[in-house]
Amino acid sequence: MSTRRQPSRPDLSTISDDEREHFAEQLRERVYVSFAALAVILTLLTHAEGLTAGTAAGSVAITAVGTVAAAWLAELIAHLAAHGGFPDRTRLGTMTRTSADALLTLVLPLLALAAAGLGWWEVTTALRVGVGALIVSLVLITWLGIRRTKLPWPARILALGVLAALAVGVVALKLLAHG
């Protein structure tokens, strides 16, 4: 009889403040990109008549790159304000990697649109797949954000639900703005 090993996760008390902050930055960037892409894809779905996969993919990619660039610039400005100068090469590289890594949330939506571009799916189907992938991504990001809290399990589940409701509100506001 074998016992299942739990994956090893460092305890929050054993990782440095820098590692903790880097983890938080990665999650934050992915949330920004996911929400921005989700709003664009939902808007594209409401205006999908005559939409090509290439146009949809371009809109999603441009939105995501713009969001990443804005977040990177915001981080740079915040660093200037907080530290009185530009970040050193190491910090600048970390900022750039963290921001660029957030684009990974677009892999599935863009693959779905590529499938539509190849004629395997309708564009609306690809957009719906993209919405589903981004929602799953946001749920996973949220779970990563709360899984290491010291809250009891029922409170974690409640927090996940509350954060999901707030996310629906954010998406509704973005749709209102873009719809």
Q: Name, in order, each residue with C-beta under 8 angstroms of 15's C-beta and a sequence gap of 6 or more.
A: 23
Q: Give domain status of residue 36, yes or no.
A: yes
pTM flag (> 0.75):
yes
Q: Give domain status of residue 42, yes or no.
A: yes
Determine how many CB atoms are found less than 10 A away from the CB of residue 160: 16
- What is the residue range of 168's domain? 21-178
Q: Give domain status of residue 129, yes or no.
A: yes
Q: Give domain status of residue 31, yes or no.
A: yes
* Closest by Cα among 135, 133, 111 to 53: 111
Q: Give domain status of residue 113, yes or no.
A: yes
Count of the separate structural domains present in the chain: 1
Give 156-178 pLDDT, tens digit per residue.
889 888 888 888 887 788 777 76
User: Six-digit token pair at 20?
Assistant: 């903790």
Q: Give domain status of residue 8, yes or no.
A: no
Q: Give domain status of residue 132, yes or no.
A: yes
Give 56-113 pLDDT, tens digit per residue.
999 999 999 999 999 999 999 999 999 999 999 999 999 999 889 999 999 999 999 9
Give 113-158 pLDDT, tens digit per residue.
999 999 999 999 999 999 999 988 888 888 888 887 888 989 888 9
On the CB side of 56, CA atoms within 13 Å amount to 35
Which strand (E) or helix (H) includes residue 19?
helix 17-46
Q: Give domain status of residue 69, yes or no.
A: yes
